[in-house]
Chain A
Amino acid sequence: SHHCFSLEQINGVPTHFSLISSPSLSEPLSWILIHFLGSVELLSLSATSFPLLLSRLIFLLFSLSIQEEVLARMRSPFSLKQEFLKKWILGLQRCRSSKKNMSIFERKKVIKLSADVAMASARKGTTCWSRALIAYAVKEGNADKHLAEKILGPASERQPTEKVTVGAMAYNKRIRSKKILKRSSVIRRTIKCAPQAARPSSTVKRLVGKRRQILRSLIPGGEFMNGVSLIEETLDYIISLRAQVDVMRSLASASKLVNLN
């Protein structure tokens, strides 16, 4: 392990934290450590502030564990998890005022919805499923519409997304798909939302039937997807779900550690 923590105590009261980082750490990571260490030393430690300090440390460990893991893998999920975490926390903060008197059930709903919306929003409108998820969240008639809108924040801060309506006429679908294609060609590579060449080939036939229908029902906006786009969306959706689970699980472990103390 790269990081060593030492805790000096005088008469059982912790007075000094040290973080020893290995020189092989990447620069941004070292910067983060030094930055955090700086704020720790400024704290005046007393017996009452120790739990707070510990929880801060836990959060540092938590974010470090994410960083280390993805640095080790050197793959793109690095920024995805960061982006997700950032947006999730922002979303949770937007619900903060009403959080004080919430029931556990309400709190769970906020946590889950803000996480789902955060992950979808982290895709920045580049995938169909993420646009569909957000569209469903704020759709008229959705019981949690107001909560979703609170989480997403003021309209000016939201990502531009194409509105996806369920059960629209096929004609409208095609027009909207064209608009999505136009927009995406200007910005960056995106995954097409329009149904692909509908003529079933011998291979595509393998993908018809009940299983394909089930898959479409599992992915947000799946009913708009077909053939190649369905599988591409599925790939992205699974990667995103895994990242979401990893971050949520890390946070749960970190929170548990705090509670035990």
Chain B
Amino acid sequence: MSGRRSGSAVSSISDDQITHLVFKLQQLIPELCARRSHKASSSKVLQETCDYIRNLHKEIEDLSDRLSQLLASIDTDNDQAAIVRSLLM
């Protein structure tokens, strides 16, 4: 690999990089986590990634809905926020 020059050397490094990154991605996604020893195909990883991101987006939407209902009825003004902030800082 070190003997090569120009375009082909660059692309083989990128190949390894990308394969490695795709594998890291696979480990992040719960659907594919179980198959940790095997490398799933890149297209499968991509597909599951897109589904996973969409699920996460939907969860955030739903949680925002729930929170908007829940936080309507408790006093979220200064008290709690001040306490949480004092805990964090």
Contacts and interface: CB of A to CB of B under 8 A. Distances in A.
B73 A259 contact: yes
A238 B84 contact: no
Interface residues of B, number: 55
A54 B15 CA distance: 56
A241 interface: yes
B67 A245 contact: no
A35 to B, nearest CB: 7
A248 B67 contact: yes
A228 B21 contact: yes
A231 B74 contact: no
Nearest to A51: B74
B81 A92 contact: yes
A42 interface: no
B33 interface: no
A20 interface: no
A56 B64 contact: no
A75 interface: no
B87 A60 contact: yes
A248 B12 contact: no
Interface residues of A, number: 61
Contact of B47 (A211, A219, A244, A259): A211
A245 B56 contact: yes
Contact of B60 (A35, A115, A202, A203): A115
B44 to A, nearest CB: 10
A168 interface: no
Contacts of A68: none
B79 to A, nearest CB: 7
B56 A215 contact: no
Contacts of B47: 211
A86 B66 CA distance: 20
Interface string A205-220: 0110001101100110
A35 B28 contact: no
Given A56-B79, A93-B81, A258 B74 contact: yes
Given A104-B69, A196-B14, A255-B74, A238 B52 contact: yes
Nearest to B85: A89
A112 interface: yes
Give the most central of B19, B53, B68, B83: most A CB within 10 Å. Answer: B68
Output the residue of A107, A231, A245 with the most chain B CB within 10 A: A231
A239 B84 CA distance: 23
Interface string A176-204: 00000000000000000000110101111
B84 A85 contact: yes
Contacts of A199: 7, 10-11
Given A104-B72, A211-B50, A235-B28, A111 B15 contact: no
Nearest to B15: A203
Interface of B: 7, 10-12, 14-15, 17-19, 21-22, 24-25, 28-29, 41-43, 46-47, 49-50, 52-54, 56-57, 59-61, 63-77, 79-81, 83-89
